[in-house]
Amino acid sequence: MRAIQFKEYGPPDVLAMVDLEPAGLGEKDLRIRMLAAGVAPVDTKIRAGLLKAHLPVALPKIPGRDGVGIVEAIGSAVTRFAVGDAVCVMVDMLTGGSCAEVIAVAEERAVRKPGSLSRYEAAALMQPGISAWIPVVQVANVRPGMKVLVHGGSGAVGSLMVQLASHLGAEVTTTCRAANIDYVLGLGARQAIAYDRDDFGKLRDQDVVFDLVGGATHLRSYPVLKKGGHLVWLMAEPIIDRADEYGVRVTRALITDQHNVLHAVAGLAQQGVLRPCVSEVRPLADAAAAHAALESGCITRGRLVLEI
């Protein structure tokens, strides 16, 4: 089978197409013929070696956290899937990779593909979906009437946060580029602030701020929170914790591959609550160019997807 692989940390051009033998099939595994895979910022950070102190992946490594495909074979102990099922998958970050023609994943890492989504949308669902669901539902417990600010509301994760928080009854404000204002308002945001034109720092009395950016944006987010408010951040380093100074809480949302969350995200997509945005579709052979595009900052709306 063909797969994208890197044998050493480095720039995008360390990614190369290789021929590999398909992984073995364990008794609780699915063998999946992949159709498409998402390209996430964490993929580029792992490839560049920026996370090796915290995520010591074994090299050579196939990149990719999520994707969509068709079940080709099942292990003897698999109970929830059959050959021919269309599934979304979330592969193990340390040992797996979705940028391959055929992969093997544990049954618990797969959910049925929502019929409401195209294959490309389905490829862009799982990693952004859990990265939105865990902060919004588990960490912040967003409820009706809460005032919520989402930084980066046009991105793959931020756009699903806007949709989810709006669905839960929150009054959502989001920041994005001016060119994406109409897009994020269409996702359910009550207000959109163009960070390249206007100042979100004039906001006040927010119950929750979701920080996907870090740096100066993180520091400027404290005054917009009400007393007792909650600043939730993901991989938005560097941050300076000023919780005591402003009388707020600061929490890092740890994104883990929880089986129940994968099902919750897929269920909301099936209901039409969550719909990922696909910014661009490229062939698998363009993986290096896709990583370069993501690192350049030119992908400002949704997720880049590789067709396999």
Q: Beta-strand (E) ranges in 6-48?
A: 16-19, 29-39
Mean pLDDT for 9-28 is 96
At residue 179 the predicted structure's pLDDT band, cuts being 50, 70 and 90, is: very high
Under 8 Å between Cβ of 81 and 30: yes
Whether residues 24 and 80 fall in one domain: yes
Q: Among the three residues 252, 281, 296, which one is the final residue of a domain in this structure?
A: 252
Query: Which value, in Å, is the radius of gyration of the alpha carbons in the chain?
Result: 19
Mean pLDDT for 183-203 is 95
At residue 236 the predicted structure's pLDDT band, cuts being 50, 70 and 90, is: low
Mean pLDDT for 36-46 is 96
Which of 182, 136, 172 shows the shortest CA–CA distance to 277? Answer: 182
Render pLDDT for 97-143 as a digit per residue (tens, 0 to 9). Answer: 999 999 999 999 999 999 999 999 999 999 999 999 999 999 999 99
Whether residues 74 and 138 fall in one domain: no
| CATH code of the domain containing 75 | 3.90.180.10
At residue 23 the predicted structure's pLDDT band, cuts being 50, 70 and 90, is: confident
How many domains are there within the chain? 2
The residue segments making up the domain with residue 139 are 128-252
